[in-house]
Amino acid sequence: MSNRTYELIYVLKPDAPETEVADMHKQVADIVERMGGAIDKTENVAPWGRRRLAYEIGHHKEGFYVLEVITGSAELMKEIDRRLKVTEGLLRHLIVRVDESTIKAERMRAKRTEESRRRRVARGLPPDRQPGEGPQGEDNDDSGDLMFDGGEMEA
């Protein structure tokens, strides 16, 4: 079973006391620990914390947002989802797998780098940029550029 990275965002009632927020975190942490996962990060302060909801949920216009970044298996996330569905005081929750987007971004970055190296070699340049080489490559001087001094044009 491979471990993946997930983001769990849950929204508690806006009047939830700090103890209720701490209890919810402890419940999630206990499940994660029991099933061999790890909580990498927890945020319940700015930019999260108490915020206005996009739409009213059960007569609530605000909610207390908490973000947890969890590394674990799909079974772990299914268990957390199952438990959160029956939890009192919880308005909404969402679990998103984030490692897939990271893998795709790395793959695209490697592809762009390889394509850049191929083009540079085809032009007779070293495969990687050299220190001091600007974004335009070898043509850093402005000696051949045309200048316009703002005067009137004559026919």
Task: Give the mean model confidence (pLDDT) for residues 73-100.
Answer: 91
Place of tokens 């914390």: 49
pTM of this prediction exceeds 0.85: no
Q: What is the pLDDT of residue 50?
A: 83
Q: Please list the residues that pair with 64 across neighbouring strands.
A: 12, 50
State the Cα–Cα distance between residues 128 and 5, nearest whole angstrom: 32
Render the burial of 41-79: b for 16+ CB within 10 Å, e for the rest: ebebeeeeeeeeeeeeeeeeebbbbbebebbbbeebbeb
Banded pLDDT at 100 (limits 50, 70, 90): confident
CB atoms within 10 A of CB 84: 19
Q: Which is more confidently placed, 131 or 29?
A: 29
- Domains of the chain (ranges; CATH) run 4-101 (3.30.70.60)
Mean pLDDT of 96-117: 85
How buried is residue 145: exposed, middle or buried, by Cβ count under 10 Å (0-12/13-18/19+)? exposed
Helix (H) / strand (E) containing 139? none
Q: pLDDT tens-digit profile of 11-69?
A: 999 888 888 888 999 999 999 999 999 998 888 765 667 888 989 998 999 999 999 99
- CA–CA distance, 11 with 17 (Å, rounded to integer): 13
Give residue 107's pLDDT band: very low, low, confident or very high (50, 70, 90): confident
pLDDT in the model for residue 140 = 47
Mean pLDDT, range 69-93, rounded to an integer: 92
Q: Please indicate whether residue 94 or residue 125 has the higher confidence score (pLDDT).
A: 94
7-25 core/surface letters (b: 16 or more CB in 10 A; e: else): ebebbbbeebeeebbeebb
- Round to whole Å and give the CA distance between 140 and 155: 33
Residue 135 has pLDDT above 90, yes or no: no
Q: Tell me, what's the pLDDT at 134?
A: 61
Helix or strand or coil: residue 18?
A: helix
